[in-house]
Structure 1
């Protein structure tokens, strides 16, 4: 009997350094790769209650009594006007985007230059850029300095004080155009020009990720770490079983995700002894860490990489932690 509740529980994990159904999850062409002895596991959440997958009375009761599951009203997770096909399409798009972000962030961390064509997808409502930039504009310079890639744009903006005027040079219909824009302020206090960007990257290495049965953006950090491990001669994980989660953008910033408690449980179930968690998820972690699992907060890909190296080398005394043992 279907009931109007959604149940989230620990889902499967995948070692991004390994294979699934006989196919390596990460395949790299155009650069030398190296074998690894450890595991870097992405983690997932399994759920019922969505369109076409109703929760049952038994499933909800089991969820209420399970320390690793969460039961919520369906409408909190699944808008009633969305079909399962629409949800699947959105999850697939987010997964594809996370894979591209992971590849760009990993290559940048390894010292590669990843040129990008920065195409304007629109302006942020209420900013000075509204009415000045147009969809299809290509950003080529900021205050006269060329912008060859996305990271370059971010780096240049970090030197700008919010509220000051910058000159954004774009290519529109084949012509260069200088646009003065008064910068706004992002949530982190840094300057923003107020445009949405849809970048097209010119990848110096061919990286493909084969994983068809998992959607969403939360595997990005683990994909990036897997790419780095495969492309470096050092055996970073060195036999350790490390799991984790977190979105990632092309600058290497690790973002928070949902279902952290279920992912911790899934990681422990599948043999992980370490877990890399987005720093913003730390408050949800405390008091819900399975025995034998240590959780390390990370904010950037560089931090995550250094954490994996420390775990593999056994030099973990100074690693931060956002956990306490789960009470029984």
Structure 2
């Protein structure tokens, strides 16, 4: 999750350079230069936290309509990274040096994080879109966990040039079925495409109110070890209830897990946290799978400074967690939303966080 310092982001890759071994002379030289030379770097520092079951600016952060809700207690904090610098902007070299020397900061050349042609406005738009999507998917994940029905629509927003669907599928087509089987969401589409292991599939779409079938041979993507149709899809949902989020100027996809937990807590009788102060991060998918994020060292530090005692960390980020956990903070490793709910409930009832899986 990202917060403009500048930018506040929930998930940014954060390789870290460490200057603590730099000689005193080199450090003095950097300090001297820092007063006169602007730096084309991006710095990342711990950002603010937001309690998803609490209030923000005198408004409930998660407000649910058209469903019965229950009292909550404690905290389920989403965590952020405060980012300075980026496209079309510079950050003072003294600030770069400060972040570089900080135990909780990181510094990267701007060109490694952003394409040369990207603008700050485009970055902001992308972060905002990722946040909106993460909120919708978090609601879907929470309802899936609670056994509530909803409908997901997959609309084509773009067709990859040279891909297997070019000349067949068009923008605004709605994907309905694969090989005659109805789809109930993005995960079922992925499963249907991968099941034939590269063989051609029949894709049924709705276009201009009529259904059309196309035979398409997916291509293999080594990076993801999966087969692809070469389509860009926009996901939309029809939910039986409305969730309003009272949070602005925060972008990125990595608050999904904490949003889903907040929704589940408000829709479930009993106080899930038991009054304890939890924090965490992670993307979420409609089936409850928790994905990795960036900036986890900064997020753990921000969580600790905000008073959290337990931090929920995606299993994918464990290699970045080890050796960087602030004193007094217990880290629980989670792979699914179910893992996270069970950890919060049991710790809220008095279980020792050390009895749950952690990063090691």
Asked whether the two chains share a fold, i.e. TM above 0.5, the reply is yes
2:217 aligned partner: 182
**Correspondent of 1:165 among 196, 200, 203:** 200
Q: CA deviation at 1:130?
A: 3.4
Comparing 231-240 and 119-128, the one that deviates more: 119-128
Matching of residues 267-286 of structure 1 within 5 Å:
267-286=303-322
1:208 aligned partner: 244
Task: Give the conservation status (yes or no) of the 8 Å contact 2:71–2:270.
Answer: no
- Cα distance in structure 1, aligned partners of 2:159 and 2:119: 29
| CA 141–263 in structure 1, closer or farther in 2 if over 3 Å, else same | same
1:319 aligned partner: 356
**Correspondent of 2:145 among 85, 102, 109:** 109
- Cα distance in structure 2, aligned partners of 1:143 and 1:121: 22
| CA 267–166 in structure 1, closer or farther in 2 if over 3 Å, else same | same
1:96 aligns with 2:96: no
- Cα distance in structure 1, aligned partners of 2:116 and 2:213: 46
Task: Give the conservation status (yes or no) of the 8 Å contact 1:101–1:248.
Answer: yes
Q: Output the TM-score relative to the length of structure 1.
A: 0.88
1:195 aligned partner: 231
Task: Give the conservation status (yes or no) of the 8 Å contact 1:114–1:149.
Answer: no
State the SS of the aligned residue for 1:13. Answer: strand
- Cα distance in structure 1, aligned partners of 2:191 and 2:264: 22
Cα deviations by residue, 1:190-234 (Å, 9 ceiling, x for unpaired): 555443322321111101111113111111111111111111113
- Cα distance in structure 2, aligned partners of 1:302 and 1:188: 24
- Cα distance in structure 1, aligned partners of 2:288 and 2:92: 40
- Cα distance in structure 1, aligned partners of 2:88 and 2:48: 20
Task: Give the conservation status (yes or no) of the 8 Å contact 1:120–1:139.
Answer: yes
Cα deviations by residue, 1:139-194 (Å, 9 ceiling, x for unpaired): 22222232354455456557x24223332222223322222233444655455544
- Cα distance in structure 1, aligned partners of 2:196 and 2:149: 27
| CA 52–183 in structure 1, closer or farther in 2 if over 3 Å, else same | closer
1:297 aligns with 2:324: no
- Cα distance in structure 2, aligned partners of 1:136 and 1:52: 33
Cα deviations by residue, 1:66-113 (Å, 9 ceiling, x for unpaired): 111112223233444333333222221221111111112111221111
1:252 aligned partner: 288
**Correspondent of 2:299 among 256, 260, 263:** 263
Task: Give the conservation status (yes or no) of the 8 Å contact 1:278–1:298.
Answer: yes
The answer for unaligned runs of 5 or more in structure 2 is 1-34
Task: Give the conservation status (yes or no) of the 8 Å contact 1:162–1:184.
Answer: no
- Cα distance in structure 2, aligned partners of 1:94 and 1:283: 25
| CA 267–174 in structure 1, closer or farther in 2 if over 3 Å, else same | same
The answer for unaligned runs of 5 or more in structure 1 is 324-328
| CA 86–163 in structure 1, closer or farther in 2 if over 3 Å, else same | closer
Matching of residues 6-17 of structure 1 within 5 Å:
6-17=42-53
Aligned residue-pair number: 322
State the SS of the aligned residue for 2:344. Answer: helix
State the SS of the aligned residue for 1:44. Answer: strand
Q: CA deviation at 1:287?
A: 0.7
